[in-house]
Amino acid sequence: MSNTESPRPKTESSSNLRALLAVVIFMGILIVAGMVVVGVTIANRLGSLGEGDKPAAVAGGFGEAAVPIPAGCAIVESRPDGNRLIVRLGSGGRCDQVLVIDLRSGAVTGRLNFVPSP
């Protein structure tokens, strides 16, 4: 700056600095808010991992259902699979079978009988 130029008034410089400070603070708040949103999203997604493997809840249910199994047979294993229940029967002979039961209605929707091949 030369001696002939007059310096800017302090009030203009001061107001520019205040405006710049306000813009920087606002941008800092936006960055922090964005990081919070990213953090919450990551936490929610990590917390919901594996929920797709859970069977769907049965709304209302079916009350009580009688599932017929052959006399002398025993339930060896049962496992939920979505809206179905897979029940494996055992004790040999005609008892070696798998039942597929609909959890919404309680009805047997399929039966796999295991017979020796010829």
- pLDDT, one tens digit per residue, over 26-48 is 999 999 999 999 999 999 888 87
**Domain carrying residue 42:** 1-54
Which tokens is 116 given? 């020796």
Please check whether residue 54 is in contact with residue 96, taking contact to mean a CB–CB distance below 8 angstroms: no
- pLDDT, one tens digit per residue, over 92-110 is 777 888 989 888 888 888 8
pLDDT, position 34: 97
Same domain, yes or no: 50 and 65: no
Band the pLDDT of 7: cuts 50, 70, 90: low
Same domain, yes or no: 118 and 65: yes
Single residue among 54, 75, 94 that ends a domain in this structure: 54
- 56 has a pLDDT exceeding 60: no
Same domain, yes or no: 8 and 48: yes
Same domain, yes or no: 49 and 74: no
Burial class (CB in 10 A: 0-12, 13-18, 19+), 98: middle
Same domain, yes or no: 112 and 74: yes
Same domain, yes or no: 68 and 27: no
Same domain, yes or no: 67 and 101: yes
What is the total count of domains within the chain?
Answer: 2
How far is Cα 25 from Cα 21, in angstroms, rounded to an integer?
6
